[in-house]
A and B are shown apart, each in its own frame.
Chain A
Amino acid sequence: MSRRRIAELTLPTLSIIGFIALWQIVVVLRGIPPIYLPAPSAIAAALAQMARDGSLWINLTATLLRIFAGFVVAAISGVSLGLLMGRSRIVAQIADPWLAALYPLPKISLIPLMIIWLGTGETYNIVMSAISAFFPIVLSTYAGVQQVDRGLVLAARDLGASPRQIQAKVILPAAVPHIFNGLQLGMGVTIILVVAAEMIGGSDQTGMGYLLINAGQVMDTDKVFASLVVMAVVGAVIIKLQRFIDRKAAPWAVNAGASRE
């Protein structure tokens, strides 16, 4: 690590350590009951306990599998539909009213309906995950295809590219920054929705959302905090990883094209 990188990491690290230390001191000195606010040491102990008895790994794996299964379905179908809409005006016109109506609908409001239709098993969790990721992915892909520079398409045609080659070698790569942007947005909402779905449809009794609501119901506050810490760390890792892949896959678009929405 370069000296500059170390310097950049110093303050954030101190910020976290300082906050935890302050928290510990306040809880111990003022004797705050652990059921209300457990000390960081107690949360760490709960986390270690969850790791030892395996409940952490089982539930974390269940949640991650649901997130990724739904996300993959949404990514494939969303990117495909977005590209098709960009290619065919008819497809775009057919899809448009549905996207316009369903995109702003809070996906969490679909949970009761999905439980009626699908029960509370894996299908329910994965469908919720896929539905939530699908809309931002379709819309970003479609926007990306529509914004392709017409000059690039004409240049490719002049250089002898067929319509199919233009699609694969010009329109698709030109839309990549927007597609990745959509995938990032989709991943963000999928994490939220899977955990929410687990909390509400918890009768299947796995997942971080289940762990969280179960611990909350029996006032096991250290476990609630331990679960929150795990989810915050996992979420941050997923988002960082995605940005990293993004930069590797589309280095030409760094600071250009992939504007946040």
Chain B
Amino acid sequence: MEVCVEAVSKIWNVAGAAPVTALDTVHHGFPSGRFSCLLGPSGCGKSTLVQIVGGLETPSTGKISIFDPATAHSAPVGAASIMMWQGLNLFPWRSVIDNVAFGLEVAGIGRRERHERARAMLAAVGLTGFDRHLPRQLSGGMRQRVALARALIMERPILLMDEPFAALDAQTKIVMQEELLRIFDATRKTVLFVTHAIDEAILLGDEIVVMTARPGRIKEVIPIDLQRPRSFDLVNTKEFGALFQHVFHLIREEVTRAMSEQAGQASEQAA
């Protein structure tokens, strides 16, 4: 499934304050079966953009279309995608298996079948034998796997990921990134992956969509033509280093600009 973002803007109206433009006329086509990373300084609207693509937030202007490029059939926004959240949003009162099976449960699939499928999905993400545990009894990395399984079990062609690994320690993060690479190679979904880590974006993505500081616009789209299957070893290669430098300079400009704007606002308020 291809995602086409056409002139999407998002303006937040906060009571008692000036409206904030989070996204300003964003155009981009996310090609089918490709891994796209959205990279930008914090507050650039990248989370908002994936939420709009997922139908969880409405754009102020512009539109999202989702269609199969082979058949030209389109799907309603939200129906073909599933989100993996920054905060995971696991249901704390549900056991691991009932978290994973939630989407099947609300779709009316019987207990035995949904548990069977959930167990298979947990095995696929490397988490067997913790069916009856509650999320709070698991480590951070294990909770990530539960959230990933809960998303993947829906078998939606578009996977939206909002900084899913941001809270992990460095080692667990590498393990989860390699896990995700393996799953992507096996399923070839269309992935929109939000991150603020440059190395993560290069390691995972087929392209990096670099966004500007508020208001969020697309600054540059960088193709990452590194061969798949990939692994973490890639970060030691020359190509990786060159790409990192290139992206880093683009991002540094934006971060500096964002910081000076914030400083300007602060001194304005102080004056």
- Which residues from chain A sit less than 8 Å from chain B, CB to CB? 149, 151-152, 154-162, 165, 169-170, 173-174, 176, 250-253, 256
B143 to chain A, nearest CB (A): 13
Interface membership of B87, Cβ < 8 A: yes
A-B contact pairs, 29 of them (CB 8 A): A149-B89, A151-B87, A151-B89, A152-B89, A152-B91, A154-B56, A155-B85, A156-B91, A156-B102, A156-B106, A157-B56, A158-B83, A159-B82, A159-B106, A159-B150, A160-B107, A160-B154, A165-B106, A169-B102, A169-B106, A170-B91, A173-B91, A173-B93, A176-B93, A250-B93, A252-B134, A252-B135, A252-B136, A253-B93
Query: Contact between A159 and B93 (Cβ–Cβ < 8 Å)?
Result: no
How far apart are A1's CB and chain B's nearest CB, in angstroms? 26
How far is B247's CA from A32's CA once the two chains are assembled, in angstroms? 91
* Residues of chain B with a CB closer than 8 A to A151's CB: 85, 87, 89
Asked whether A159 and B154 contact (CB < 8 A) given A165-B106, A250-B93, the answer is yes
Chain B residues, CB < 8 A from A161: 102, 106
Find out whether the CB atom of B82 lies under 8 angstroms from the CB atom of A158.
yes
CB distance from A258 to the nearest CB of B (A): 12
Question: In the bound complex, how far is the Cα of B150 from the Cα of A253, in angstroms?
Answer: 22
Minimum C-beta distance from A235 to chain B (A): 30
Bound CA–CA A250/B93 (angstroms): 7
> How long is the Cα–Cα vector from A155 to B102 in the complex, in angstroms?
10
- Is B43 interfacial (CB 8 A cutoff)? no
Question: When the two chains form the complex, which single residue of A158, A165, A170, A176 contacts B56, counting CB atoms closer than 8 Å?
Answer: A158
Tell me if B69 is interfacial: C-beta within 8 Å of chain A: no
> B80 to nearest A CB, angstroms?
12
CB pair B106 A160 closer than 8 Å:
yes
Nearest-Cβ distance from residue B195 to partner chain A, whole angstroms: 19
Which B residues lie within 8 Å of A159 (CB)? 82, 102-103, 106, 150, 154
A151 nearest in chain B by CB position? B89
> Which applies to chain A's interface (DSSP): helix, strand, loop or mixed?
helix
Given contacts A170-B91, A252-B93, contact A155 B83 (CB under 8 A): yes
What are the 4 closest A-B residue pairs judged by CB atoms, nearest first?
A: A155-B89, A159-B103, A161-B106, A151-B89
Chain B residue nearest to A155 (CB atoms) is: B89
- Indicate whether B216 reaches chain A with its CB closer than 8 angstroms: no
Instruction: Compute how far the CA of A176 lies from the CA of B91 in the bound complex, rounded to whole angstroms.
Output: 13
* Majority DSSP secondary structure for residues of B touching A: loop
Number of interface residues of B (CB under 8 A): 21
Could you list which residues of chain B lie within 8 angstroms of chain A, going by C-beta atoms?
A: 54, 56, 78, 82-83, 85, 87, 89, 91-93, 102-103, 105-107, 134-136, 150, 154
- The interface residues of chain B lying within 8 Å CB-to-CB of A160 are 103, 106-107, 154
> CB distance B106 to A162 under 8 Å?
yes
Q: Establish whether residues A158 and B136, one from each chain, have CB atoms under 8 Å apart when the complex forms.
A: no
In the complex, besides A173-B91, A173-B93, A253-B93, 20 extra interface pairs with C-beta distance below 8 angstroms are A149-B89, A151-B85, A151-B87, A154-B85, A155-B85, A156-B102, A157-B56, A158-B56, A158-B78, A159-B82, A159-B102, A159-B103, A159-B150, A159-B154, A161-B106, A169-B105, A170-B91, A252-B93, A252-B135, A256-B136
User: How near does chain A come to B93, taking the closest CB pair, in angstroms?
Assistant: 5
Q: How far does the alpha carbon of A157 sit from the alpha carbon of B102 in the complex, in Å? A: 11
What distance in Å separates the Cβ of B101 from its nearest Cβ neighbour in chain A?
Answer: 10
* Chain B residue nearest to A162 in the complex (CB): B106
B residues in contact with A173, CB < 8 Å: 91, 93
Nearest-CB distance from A19 to chain B (Å)?
A: 41
Chain A residues near B106: list those with CB within 8 A. Answer: 156, 159-162, 165, 169
Contact between chains at A158 and B93 (CB < 8 Å): no
Q: Which residues of B contact A176 (CB under 8 A)?
A: 93
The residues of A that contact B91 with a CB separation of less than 8 Å are 152, 155-156, 170, 173
Inside 8 A of B102's CB, which chain A residues have their CB? Answer: 156, 159, 161, 169
Which residue of B is nearest A176, CB measured?
Answer: B93
State in angstroms the CA–CA spacing of A176 and B189 once bound together: 38
Report chain A residues within 8 Å CB of B150.
Answer: 159
Shortest beta-carbon distance, B47 to chain A, in Å? 12
